[in-house]
Structure formats: structure tokens, C-alpha cells
Amino acid sequence: MTQSIVLQIGQCGNQIGAQFWASALKEHSSHDSRGLYSDAISSFFRNVDGIDQCNMSVRVPPAKIQQLRARAVLIDMEEGVLNNLLRSNLGELFLSTELIGDVSGAGNNWATGFHFYGERHKDRIVEAVRKEAEMCDCLQSFFILHSMGGGTGSGLGTRTLALLAEHFPEVYRFVVPVYPSNDDDVITSPYNTVLAMNQITEHANCVVPAENQALSRLCAASDTAKVDTIRSHVSEGKEKAFNRMNSLVSKVILDITASARFEGTLNVDINEISMNLVPFPRAHYLLPAIAPLATPKIPQQRHLDAIFSDVLSPSHALCSADLRKGTYLACAMLVRGNVQVSDIRRNIDKLSEQMNFIHWNKDGWKTGLCNVPPVKQMFSVLALSNNTCIKYTFTELQSRFNKLFQRKAHLHHYLSVDGMELEQVNEASTSLQDQISLYDELENSQPVQFYRPRVM
């Protein structure tokens, strides 16, 4: 059985991580009511007591999780989020050696996170990851959770990614970044995002992005009764609204790793995602979409065929990019629940008639089937689309970046940090343009052909 380590960096990354660990425990306890430690739960948890039984409860009042420890490293340059997590029901999942904190924060400045805190804490980060890695029998992947628009998440998050690439080059690096909205209240977020993108383009094996704007829209549509959902979404307050958004991102991670945690008819190994969906090293951005839009508290039952259609529509995507405007380089359908392979094949045959695949990848589908559904759902589907439409998101980001950079607005805050040079900003800008050009070239290489795919 392979293992994965989760690295939660910054406020956003740690909040998503908290949702992930709580949901993962609920899935395992729902699947195994006896609370036995098994290969499935060992993929993300260690059993420190070495006995078969473990407490997987996260119910209120707080239950002791004495036997389990998360395979995780938690990093934040402000103590508040880490302290709140330690005081929560999940607090005993984490050891002090897995927490790396500071007191002043990165001030929404990528350079401060990457250079100042990256240099200060790089040895602690590498040592914490190494200790976790040594407690794995077969370490397969890292999941790096962070935001792109702030300082710690974007700066220290990508510095951590670079450290992983340097010290653990053989371990797959899956990055789950959250992009800021177009109207983000951090005025320097375009700088932070473009500088961070340069790093994840160079050092990640797969990037599964989410956007705050799309997440907010999905939250408003996640209830079975839209009007009631929107009303509750507005009245529930910012904290609960962010929790709902974070739970959507955590669900993507749960679905990607479901085959590593549970049995299935067509289990997909994590490294197969990279091998089958990334034709070129830099074309590794996989756009996620989930269906149904439901939570354990708000179950939603949809017909299976409708769910397959939903995950290719903009209304279920975690990014604002419209898949219908681009060309597919590859696409994966990761299905969970009591679903027949023939049902998957039938739906893929039907959907392929509406999709544009690039001419040299006529067998561009990857399918996975895990028999264990999400909690209180019959089945679910996660689509991961490698689609050239991501260039429109990048083009919009480039426009926002150029509005600041052409006037050198706020740039002095970055250049005043030791180790930061103007050349790094120019390099990041060039890297973004290269990404846009890459997807342009792929989309326009030859006329797109329709085909009947072979299901892998």
C-alpha cells in the first residue's frame, strides 16, 4: 500500500486541510464501522499505538483520536490558524514536529514568503517532511495545498514545492492551488499569482486548480433548493461560507485518492493520473469538476447519466474556464459508488460526441471506478480535464498583472526583500506568456477530430 503526505501552507491551505482530514475520517469510519486500522486508512494516517483498532470519530463533543496521526506537515507564518486547528476536534492528529509557524505573517507579499521565510525555515521544512517520509513504507506523492493570491501560501508554498522537487525528486508532487477572484481585495494578488505560477509550472507534476469565484458560485448552487441555498449562503457568514468552499476543494482530493484508499473495479493509481493526463511536462494543469454538488448534510440524488453530463458543464467546474471553448488533451472520469463499467462506457461514448479532442490523442480518456461512494451518496463523478481553455484564465491573469507591472505599482515592496530581483518578475511574466503560447499552439496545431474513444 502506498502513502501520501499532505502539506498545508498558509491560512487557505490549512483550512482546506482541516476539511480534508475531517472528511477522510468520516469516509473511513462510514466504510469500516468497527474502526479497524487497515491498508486503506494507512495511505494518509499512521497508527502510532501499533494496534488494530483505532478511533476515527470526529463527533462533537471532541473525541480522542489517540491512535491516529495524520501524514501531514502544517506551515503558516501566522499562529492563529494553526492554534485553532490544534484546539479543534482534529488537534490530536498532529504532532508539534509537524507544525512550522511564525508570528508576523508574509504581508500578502510573495517575495517575503518565498525568500525571507523560505530561507529562514527551509531546513525545518525539509526535516519535517523527511521525518514523515521515513515513517512511510512506500511514499508515492505529496499533496501541496495553498492559495495563490496571498503571501505565505503563494510564496512559502511554492518555495516548499521547490524544496520537495530538490530533495524528493522521485515523489509525485500534486499541487492544489486556490486562485483569487478577479475582484480580490488584495491589490497585489496578480503579482503573487504570476510569481507563484512560475514555480508550480516548473516544479509540479500535476496542478489541480480551483478559483474562489467559481467556488463561491458552486456553493450557491450546492443545495437541492437554489433559493434556500442562496439565502443561507448569504446569511451564514464569511467563516461558514469559506468552510463550504474549502469542502469542495477537499472533496476533489478525496476523489483523486479514493482508489488509493478503498477497493474498486477500476482502481486508478495516483501516478497514473500524471502519466495519462499530462502529455507534456508543462501542460499539467487539470481542471476539476464534481457532481453531484452535495455534502453529507445536504445529500443530493441525481441520475447517473445526468451526473456524467454535469461534470463537463461550467456549472460544476471549480474553475471559471469553459471547457467548451477549448481542445481536450486528455480527460479522466473518476467514478465512485455501485456503478457498472458498461454504464461508464456508455456515457463516455455519448459525451465524446460533444467534445473536441486533439488529433494525436484519440484515446484520450482515463477512467477509474472506486466501489466506495462518498458519505451519504449513492455515487459521484470527478472529471479532470486537461483542456486548452485554461489559456483564457491565464490571459485574464496576465492582463491584471500587466496593469500593475507596466506602472511598476507596488513593485518596491517586493524588490526591498533580500534575494528578490526584478529579473524574477520578468521571468515569471515570460513563463506565463509561454504557457499561453503553449496552449495556443496545441489548440491550433491541426483541426480537431471527433472520435469514439477507447476506455482505459
Higher pLDDT, 224 or 180: 180
How much of the chain, in percent, has pLDDT values that exceed 70?
88
Which regions of 3-71 does DSSP assign to beta strands (E)? 3-9, 45-47, 68-70
Q: Would the pLDDT of 61 be above 50?
A: no
Task: Please indicate, yes or no, if residue 55 is contained in any of the structural domains.
Answer: yes
Host domain of residue 405: 392-443
Residue 219 is predicted with a pLDDT of 85
Cα–Cα nearest to 219, from 335, 316, 321, 334: 316
Check residue 409 and give its pLDDT.
Answer: 96
Residue 301 lies in a domain: no
Q: Which of 297, 116, 136, 110 has its CA nearest to residue 189?
A: 110
d(CA 70, CA 64): 14
The predicted pLDDT at position 57 comes to 56
What are 293-310's pLDDT values in tens digits?
865 455 556 688 999 999
pLDDT bin (cut points 50, 70, 90) of residue 447 is low
Domain presence at residue 85: yes
The residue type of 347 is N
Query: How does DSSP classify residue 97?
Result: G
Residues 164, 27: Cα–Cα separation, whole Å = 29
> How far is it, in rounded angstroms, from Cα 245 to Cα 398?
25
Structure-block grid coordinates of residue 120: 529562514
Same domain, 272 and 399: no
Domain assignment present for residue 28? The answer is yes
Q: Specify the CATH number for the domain of residue 131.
A: 3.40.50.1440
Tell the residue number behind the cell numbers 458498461, with chain if given. Answer: 342
Query: Does residue 360 fall inside a structural domain?
Result: no
Which among 218, 253, 278 is the end of a domain?
Answer: 278
Q: Write down which residue in 230, 261, 278 finishes a domain.
A: 278
Maximum mean pLDDT: which of 260-274, 302-316, 393-407: 393-407
Q: Which of 98, 71, 53 is nearest to 4 (CA)?
A: 71
Query: What is the average pLDDT score of the chain?
Result: 88
- Does 148 lie in the same domain as 8? yes
CATH number of the domain bearing residue 405 = 1.10.287
Calpha distance 420→426 (Å, rounded): 12
Q: Which of 242, 257, 278 is the last residue of a domain?
A: 278
Residue 328 or 452, more confident: 328
- Tell me the three cell numbers of residue 403: 496593469
For 33-42, what is the mean pLDDT? 80
| For the ranges 25-29, 227-231, 445-449, the one whose mean pLDDT is highest | 25-29
- Residue 274 and residue 398 share a domain: no
Which burial class, exposed, middle or buried, applies to 101 when counting CB atoms under 10 A from its CB (0-12, 13-18, 19+)? middle
Residue 261 lies in a domain: yes
Mean pLDDT value of segment 53-81? 73
Q: Hey, what's the torsion of the CAs at 415, 113, 162, 364, to 10 degrees?
A: -100
Count of domains forming the chain: 2
Q: In this structure, is residue 252 part of a structural domain?
A: yes
Tell me the per-residue pLDDT of 184-240, one tens digit each, with 9 for 90 and over.
889 999 999 999 999 999 999 999 999 999 999 888 876 543 434 334 444 455 667
H or E stretch at 367: strand 365-370
Model-wide pTM > 0.85: yes
pLDDT for 48: 82
Neighbours of 402 (CB within 10 A): 14
Q: Which residue has the higher pLDDT, 132 or 294?
A: 132
pLDDT in tens, 255-268: 999 998 888 788 88
More confident position, 198 or 83: 198
Question: Residue 184 is placed in which grid cell?
Answer: 480580490
| Grid cell of 147 as nine digits | 492559495
Q: Is 406 part of a structural domain of the chain?
A: yes
